[in-house]
């Protein structure tokens, strides 16, 4: 049985009875795609469907998906990955006690099953492995650890997994492996792909075993090189401010490896900056948080700042100083410098340069994902950012209109919200409180999410543990504290806390500009369950 839940104006969630039904639907939609679907994110009992509303409507998707069979068998992949494990995990004895068996029996059961990569999420290369059987079904830890090392082998519910990198987590850790789950030196960085078969090998029984993983080519750095071959100008960074990152429109289509899109927090501002200097609108810019950014031009260049309303000072090579406007192209000579001050409104500025920055992409994008640690390294003082040379007379934009409603700390920012997919997990009072209460953006906010606090927390009606499911940018996730987190560009691909609603797609750029300390009010645009 399928249940269709709203997610946003360009996404819906299909809820199914179990994992086999989810995989059957995924296989069907991959074998016979529906025009307009852009991405599918499977999880334990759900399938997140992102689509283009101009190509296919919500109603048409419900009709077409609802007609698909959920009984077709899912073929097993030919690829088998064997993972050697040292079973010395700190939760091994506790897992044995919960199951009423010996630690040796836990190991025997874990190594005696063949697993299948059901889906990916949480972090790049993090694969949820099904097929271990009910004999190893244990709950997550009641209190997640703040740090679990890379290579930790864990259990949670019906799944097994290997942590690809050091991160917080609540899985029961029973062992560790030296086999890398995520390596940008490989042609496909994630070792475990959806559909692959997996076996765990007890190193105590087979100490001479070596992993059957395919050999990796010569390693390359985890982050893109700062520069590639170029023959143009360069920007010498004197100050990078609080945070300066390369961002473009994001690395879409990498959900199969557990990688979300990332990209600019204010996509409209990024595109405007590129148009002003004559670039393709999706070219990489420098995203600057809260100003404090300064550079010197080496050679001649044309640049533009967009996004936050912040003062810009030009210091010419001859010593003359002047204030220059944002949202206009600025011609620079060798030795000229620009300084971006603290924003008066908004929080993030975008710097584009004619010709584009000569930096190498990672997985098809030049965006830096701060959660997944994928993409170019953060920009720092002393860096030299190379610029592609352009032909003389290249066309630049004449004018771009700056936004009139950039958020400030003095005014309450209103964001339209699509209710769902888990609105019914909350009490009616909590649903009403989401819209009636003013929330404050806390200093713990970043590109992953805007952490909000309010006088009254959101109370759940359903206390059950929610199996991980796909999430979208703009999702308002509610952890046990009842204080919501508004997912932003670097949000995880999947999440395990209920999402009460999502900021409407047309207000995502505004959400990306909300400064710390600002007040936020949510405005539901339709009742939960309305398509």
Mean local confidence (pLDDT), 46-52: 97
- Matching CATH number, 82-202, of 2.40.100.10, 1.10.730.10, 3.30.420.40, 2.60.120.10: 2.40.100.10
Residue 122: per-residue pLDDT: 83
Q: Please, which pLDDT band fits residue 216 given cuts at 50, 70 and 90?
A: very low
d(CA 394, CA 389): 10
Q: What average pLDDT does the chain have?
A: 92
Q: Quickly count: other Cβ atoms within 10 Å of residue 475's Cβ.
A: 28
Q: 369: which DSSP letter? A: B
d(CA 413, CA 403): 14
Q: Name which of 258, 284, 294, 86 is nearest 181 in CA terms.
A: 258
Mean local confidence (pLDDT), 124-133: 90
The answer to whether the beta carbons of residues 213 and 358 sit under 8 Å apart is no
The answer to whether the beta carbons of residues 232 and 210 sit under 8 Å apart is no
Q: Give tens-digit pLDDT for 295-345.
A: 999 999 999 999 999 999 999 999 999 999 999 999 999 999 999 999 999
Q: Give tens-digit pLDDT for 1-20.
A: 899 999 999 999 999 999 99
CA dist 267 to 27, 270, 489, Å?
A: 32, 5, 10
Percent of all residues in the chain with a pLDDT value above 70, rounded to a whole number? 95
Handedness of CA 201, 207, 212, 217 (dihedral sign): positive
Residue 217: per-residue pLDDT: 43
Specify the domain boundaries for CATH 3.30.1360.40 within the chain: 3-66
Q: Please, which pLDDT band fits residue 140 given cuts at 50, 70 and 90?
A: confident
d(CA 370, CA 449): 11
302: β partners: 331
Packing angle, helices 103-111 and 92-99, rounded to 10? 90
Specify the domain boundaries for CATH 2.40.100.10 within the chain: 82-202, 412-524
Q: Name which of 367, 371, 327, 386 is nearest 494 in CA terms.
A: 371
Q: Name which of 127, 192, 117 is nearest 154 in CA terms.
A: 127
Which helix (H) or strand (E) segment is 63 a member of?
helix 58-66
Q: Is 134 exposed, middle or buried (0-12, 13-18, 19+ CB in 10 A)?
A: exposed
d(CA 502, CA 484): 11
Q: Name which of 162, 188, 41, 158 is nearest 492 in CA terms.
A: 41
Q: Is pLDDT of 228 > 70?
A: no
Residue 231: per-residue pLDDT: 58
d(CA 114, CA 197): 7
Contacts of 78 (CB under 8 A, 6+ apart): none
The answer to whether the beta carbons of residues 267 and 284 sit under 8 Å apart is no
Residue 91: per-residue pLDDT: 97
d(CA 235, CA 221): 23
The phi and psi torsions of 116 (rounded to 5 degrees) equal -130, 135
What's the count of helices (H) and strands (E) in the chain, helices before strands?
7, 33
- What topology is assigned to 3-66 in CATH? Gyrase A; domain 2 (3.30.1360)
The answer to whether the beta carbons of residues 148 and 169 sit under 8 Å apart is yes
d(CA 308, CA 269): 9
Helix runs in 74-171, H state only: 92-99, 103-111
Residue 531: per-residue pLDDT: 61
Q: Give tens-digit pLDDT for 143-165.
A: 888 899 999 999 998 899 999 99
Mean local confidence (pLDDT), 518-530: 92
- What topology is assigned to 412-524 in CATH? Cyclophilin (2.40.100)
Q: Please state whether beta strands 494-495 and 469-470 pair in parallel, antiparallel, or not at all (unpaired).
A: antiparallel
Q: Give tens-digit pLDDT for 392-429.
A: 656 777 788 999 889 999 999 999 999 999 999 999 99
Residue 218: per-residue pLDDT: 38
Contacts of 16 (CB under 8 A, 6+ apart): 1, 2, 3, 22, 25, 45, 46, 47, 70
Q: Give tens-digit pLDDT for 494-509.
A: 888 999 999 999 999 9
């Amino acid at each position: 049985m399928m249940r269709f839940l709203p997610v946003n104006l360009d996404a819906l969630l299909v809820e199914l009875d179990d994992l086999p039904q989810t995989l059957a639907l995924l296989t069907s939609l991959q074998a016979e795609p529906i025009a307009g679907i852009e991405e599918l994110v499977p999880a334990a009992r759900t399938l997140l469907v992102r689509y283009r509303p101009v190509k296919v409507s919500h109603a048409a998707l419900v009709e077409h998906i609802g007609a698909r069979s959920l009984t077709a068998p899912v073929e097993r992949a030919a690829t088998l990955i064997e993972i050697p494990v040292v079973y010395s995990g700190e939760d091994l004895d506790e897992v044995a006690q919960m199951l009423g068996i010996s630690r040796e029996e836990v190991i025997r059961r874990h190594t005696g099953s063949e697993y299948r990569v059901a889906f990916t999420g949480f972090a790049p290369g993090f694969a949820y492995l099904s097929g271990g059987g009910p004999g190893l079904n244990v709950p997550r830890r009641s209190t997640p650890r703040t740090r679990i090392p890379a290579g930790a082998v864990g259990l949670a519910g019906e799944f097994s997994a290997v942590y690809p990198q050091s991160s917080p987590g609540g899985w029961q850790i029973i062992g560790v492996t030296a086999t890398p789950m995520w390596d940008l030196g490989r042609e496909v960085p994630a070792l475990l792909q959806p559909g692959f078969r997996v076996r765990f090998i007890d190193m105590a029984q087979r100490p001479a075993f070596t992993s059957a993983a395919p050999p990796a080519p010569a390693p390359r750095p985890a982050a893109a090189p700062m520069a590639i071959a170029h023959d143009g100008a360069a920007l010498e960074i004197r100050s990078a401010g609080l945070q300066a990152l390369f961002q473009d429109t994001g690395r879409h289509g990498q959900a199969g490896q557990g990688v979300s899109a990332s990209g600019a927090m204010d996509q409209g501002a990024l595109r405007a900056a590129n148009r002003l200097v004559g670039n393709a609108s999706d070219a990489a810019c420098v995203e600057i948080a809260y100003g404090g950014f300064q550079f010197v031009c080496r050679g001649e260049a044309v640049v533009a700042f967009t996004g936050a309303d912040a003062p810009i000072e030009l210091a010419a090579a001859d010593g003359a100083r002047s204030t220059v406007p944002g949202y206009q192209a600025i011609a620079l000579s060798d030795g000229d410098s620009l300084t971006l001050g603290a924003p008066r409104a908004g929080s993030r500025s975008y710097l584009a340069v004619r010709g584009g920055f000569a930096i190498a992409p990672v997985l098809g994008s030049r965006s830096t994902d701060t959660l997944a640690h994928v993409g170019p390294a953060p920009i720092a003082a002393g860096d030299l950012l190379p610029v592609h040379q352009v032909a003389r007379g290249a066309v630049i934009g004449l004018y771009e209109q700056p936004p009139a409603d950039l958020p400030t700390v003095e005014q309450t920012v209103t964001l339209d919200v699509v209710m769902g997919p888990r609105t019914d997990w909350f009490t009616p009072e909590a649903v009403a409180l989401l819209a009636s209460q003013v929330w404050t953006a806390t200093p713990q906010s970043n590109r992953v999410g805007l952490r909000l606090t309010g006088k009254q927390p959101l109370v759940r009606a359903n206390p059950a543990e929610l199996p991980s499911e796909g999430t979208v940018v703009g999702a308002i996730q509610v952890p046990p504290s009842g204080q919501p987190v508004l997912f932003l560009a670097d949000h995880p691909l999947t999440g395990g806390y209920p999402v009460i609603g999502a900021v409407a797609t047309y207000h995502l750029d505004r959400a990306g500009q909300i400064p710390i300390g600002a007040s936020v009010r949510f405005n539901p645009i339709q009742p939960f369950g309305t398509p």
